[in-house]
Amino acid sequence: MTRKLPLGMLIDLAHTQTDDAARRLGALQSAHLNANQKLDLLLQYRQDYHDQLDTLMRSGLPSSQWRNYRNFLGTLDGAIEQQRAIAAQTETRLDNGRIDWQHQKRRLSSFDTLAERVRLQELTAEAKREQRDSDERAARKFFDRTSHPTL
């Protein structure tokens, strides 16, 4: 029983760590999805704004207004680059989170395998004890019959 207690504690701890890693992975996936959605929104906004500038330029656009559009597009390009960097960071964190979760799953699986081996060893030992006890009872019965033939 002393062998089962530490192994059981390790398995419980491994379950907790695996569950924690899965929760972290979910949060990382959500953050990555949000970062990519923001990037897509910024890219779409830039495209819409650029299309609007093209339309206005065809109909004649004062240079001051053109400069304002170009400055805004430059600012928007900066925001897009920042969001690309954020999306790349979230992807890296997500990859690391996957690696951590997979590590925790393998660790838990190893403990489960070890626990199953211990359980099988205990079952085998119990079967051997039962067989030995049965053999001893049969041998005693046989010895008693041969020692006391009148019974």
Q: How far is CA 15 from CA 4, 10, 34, 104, in A?
A: 16, 9, 29, 8
Quote the pLDDT of residue 81: 98
Domains of the chain: 4-147 (1.10.287.1700)
Question: Is the C-alpha dihedral spanning 95, 97, 102, 107 positive or negative?
Answer: positive
Quote the pLDDT of residue 2: 44
Q: Which residue has the tokens 């951590």?
A: 100
Tokens in use for 2? Answer: 């002393």
Nearest to 12 by CA among 112, 121, 138: 112
For residues 91 and 32, is the Cβ–Cβ distance under 8 A? yes
Tokens in use for 65? Answer: 């207004």
Quote the pLDDT of residue 1: 44
pLDDT in tens, the chain (151 residues): 445 568 889 999 999 999 999 999 999 999 999 999 999 999 999 999 999 999 988 888 888 899 999 999 999 999 999 999 999 999 999 999 999 999 999 999 999 999 999 999 999 999 999 999 998 998 888 888 887 765 5
SS3 59: coil
Tokens in use for 94? Answer: 């997500």
Distance CA 89, CA 71 (A): 27
Q: How far is CA 71 from CA 61, 63, 92, in A?
A: 15, 12, 32
